[in-house]
């Protein structure tokens, strides 16, 4: 705690006139006797309205007032024992508030004090926006991962849960999905989530003619989003305004759902309690959510057609091909998120190569299933061998020896795809980072059965990792994928590094039980 700085009465006017911050002089009774123009602008009053007419307590947020009154009293009893700088919230004209750092200097021989304010509101808003954006990114990564191997029968349930997750996070009042019927030239509300106290509208929004939504659909055909920040500002005779007002909507945003260059519907976000405007960065992230929904709906629709028209063998083969296509589309959505995890000065080609390896690891699963007589299971040990061979060929300019020891373990598709992605991330990480400034090294890979399930280990003799905690609290896209996939497989992992290499062990107890 620093003692308060004392100034001479003759310096007060100089400080008051020349400071670039908001400054006031407070009398012993709490009245503001002087205020500069910058302070007046912060609180939204004129200097004339403040000077001699306003007590400082009137401009302090109610939640901070008790604390500051106590400091005001203690300062006059023993100023050297009270802090002279601290943060607080100040009131603004019209009901808002700001955040500022306050500094106080006592005028010796009087009960007066000089107070200066440095506004923190803009900085705090920027930090909050960044935290919000990163949290939304992580939510979308988790949602995308959850849809990778979802069976068509569970798509509707997963979509409803997704609408709830996104709606709750973004503090929207209503989030919903519409699906188009081009034969009937109409669209209908198929999925909906509503916040507490918000009336559902899904039963009122069935079989809406395209002609009633021509403005929206024309925008969506161009691949653009449709946003109305304030319904009250629309023309009074606008038919869309009349529809929205009957639902109590004050603001909305609609993102197109597109698949194979065709609009299949849209996902909508309604604000009922207040008007709402989405930022560009928020819209960009929600576009990824729209891609995830589009891919899930397209896969569900494809499965329904297959079930109706093909025999069992053709159903299985077509589903394999469609799994590949849908999974690649989901990975493309994740690629859009990956860019936000890296600064612009990193080599974009390297990042693209990483994503290509991820896609290849998934495609390899489908290739092996297609080659096998058993269409439901693959030997994952054999898959690991082929995966390593592919990765090693990409780094053939370096002498990296890879030793693989695997048991014969048969896994189904639901386990094989996330596990192949996980193995790819661990092995790729070793190839790319373990042997910096070296042309040789050794990687040992083990995939073994044990009494508790299965264990996947990747061990290298490279430079090691100074902070293995980064794997448990990831801040990079690769580490985030590792943690997310381990969680999806209901496994656990440990990382050890002694400066002469890195050992990562993944324990997967549910892999054998699920099999």
Q: What is the pLDDT of residue 152?
A: 81
pTM comes to: 0.43
Q: Given pLDDT bands bounded at 50, 70 and 90, which one contains residue 8?
A: low
DSSP run (H or E) holding 307: helix 280-309
Instruction: Count how many residues are written for the chain.
Output: 515
Q: Where are the beta strands (DSSP E) in 31-84?
A: 32-35
Residue partners of 473: CB distance under 8 A and separation at least 6: none
More confident residue, 56 or 470: 56
Closest to 361 (Cα-Cα) out of 435, 299, 428, 316: 428
- For residue 184, the number of C-alpha atoms closer than 13 Å in the C-beta half-sphere is 10
The whole-number average pLDDT for the span 417-435 is 86
d(Cα 411, Cα 379) in Å, to the nearest integer?
7
**CA–CA distance from 362 to each of 366, 369, 387, 428, 448 (Å)?**
7, 11, 10, 14, 21
pLDDT at residue 4, as a whole number: 43
Mean pLDDT of 258-272: 89
Confidence of residue 345 (pLDDT cuts 50, 70, 90): very low
Give every CB contact of residue 286 below 8 A, 6+ residues apart in sequence: 166, 170, 253, 255, 269, 278
Question: Higher confidence at residue 353 or residue 400?
Answer: 400
pLDDT in tens, 200-254: 999 988 998 998 888 899 999 888 889 888 888 888 888 888 888 888 899 999 9
Lowest mean pLDDT among 100-104, 155-159, 405-409: 100-104
Closest CA to 415 of 502, 325, 506, 342: 506
- Higher local confidence (pLDDT), 256 or 343: 256
**pLDDT category of residue 190 using cuts at 50, 70 and 90:** very high
* Stretch 308-319: mean pLDDT: 58
Distances 261 to 257, 294, 327 between C-alpha atoms, Å: 10, 11, 18
159: tokens are 């979509």
Domains and CATH numbers, the chain: 9-119 (3.30.450.20), 124-298 (3.30.450.40), 363-514 (3.30.565.10)
pLDDT exceeds cutoff 70 at 162: yes
């Amino acid at each position: 705690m620093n003692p308060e700085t004392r100034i001479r009465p003759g310096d007060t006017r100089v400080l008051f006139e020349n400071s670039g911050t908001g400054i006031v002089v407070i009398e012993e009774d709490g009245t503001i006797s002087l205020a500069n123009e910058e302070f007046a602008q912060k609180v939204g009053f004129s200097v004339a309205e403040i000077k001699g007419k306003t007590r400082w307590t009137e401009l302090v947020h109610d939640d901070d007032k008790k604390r500051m009154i106590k400091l005001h009293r203690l300062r006059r009893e023993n100023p050297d024992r009270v802090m002279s700088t601290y943060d607080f919230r100040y009131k603004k004209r019209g009901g808002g508030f700001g955040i500022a750092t306050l500094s106080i200097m006592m005028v010796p021989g009087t009960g007066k004090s000089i107070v200066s304010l440095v506004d923190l509101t803009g900085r705090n808003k920027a930090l909050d926006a960044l935290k919000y954006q990163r949290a939304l990114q992580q939510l979308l990564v988790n949602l995308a991962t959850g849809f990778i191997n979802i069976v068509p029968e569970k798509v509707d349930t997963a979509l409803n849960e997704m609408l709830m997750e996104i709606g709750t996070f973004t503090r929207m009042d209503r989030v919903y999905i519409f699906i188009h019927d081009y034969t009937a030239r109409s669209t209908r509300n198929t999925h909906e989530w509503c916040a507490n106290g918000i009336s559902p509208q899904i039963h009122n929004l069935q079989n809406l003619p395209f002609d009633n939504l021509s403005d929206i659909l024309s925008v969506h055909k161009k691949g653009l989003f449709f946003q109305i920040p304030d319904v009250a500002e629309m023309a009074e005779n606008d038919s869309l305004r009349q529809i929205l007002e009957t639902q109590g909507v004050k603001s909305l945003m609609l993102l197109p759902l597109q698949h194979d260059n065709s609009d299949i519907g849209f996902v909508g976000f309604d604000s009922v309690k207040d008007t709402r405007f989405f930022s560009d960065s928020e819209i960009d992230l929600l576009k990824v959510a729209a891609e995830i929904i589009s891919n899930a709906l397209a896969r569900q629709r494809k499965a329904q057609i297959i079930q109706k028209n093909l025999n069992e063998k053709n159903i299985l083969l077509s589903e394999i091909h469609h799994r590949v296509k849908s999974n690649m589309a989901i990975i493309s959505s994740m690629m859009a998120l990956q860019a936000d995890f890296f600064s612009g000065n990193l080599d974009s080609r390297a990042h693209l190569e990483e994503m290509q390896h991820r896609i290849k690891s998934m495609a390899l699963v489908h290739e092996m299933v297609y080659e096998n007589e058993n269409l439901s299971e693959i030997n994952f040990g054999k898959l690991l061998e082929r995966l390593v061979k592919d990765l090693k060929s990409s780094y053939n300019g370096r002498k990296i020896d890879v030793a693989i020891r695997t048991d014969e373990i048969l896994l189904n598709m639901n386990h094989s795809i996330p596990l192949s992605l996980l193995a790819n991330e661990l092995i790729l990480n070793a190839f790319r980072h373990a042997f910096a400034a070296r042309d040789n090294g050794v990687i040992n890979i083990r995939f073994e059965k044990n009494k508790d399930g299965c264990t996947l280990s990747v061990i290298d003799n490279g430079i090691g990792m100074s902070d293995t905690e980064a794997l448990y609290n990831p801040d990079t896209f690769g580490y985030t994928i590792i943690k997310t996939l381990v969680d999806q497989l209901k496994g656990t992992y440990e990382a050890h590094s002694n400066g002469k290499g890195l050992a990562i062990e993944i324990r997967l107890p549910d892999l054998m039980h699920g099999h």
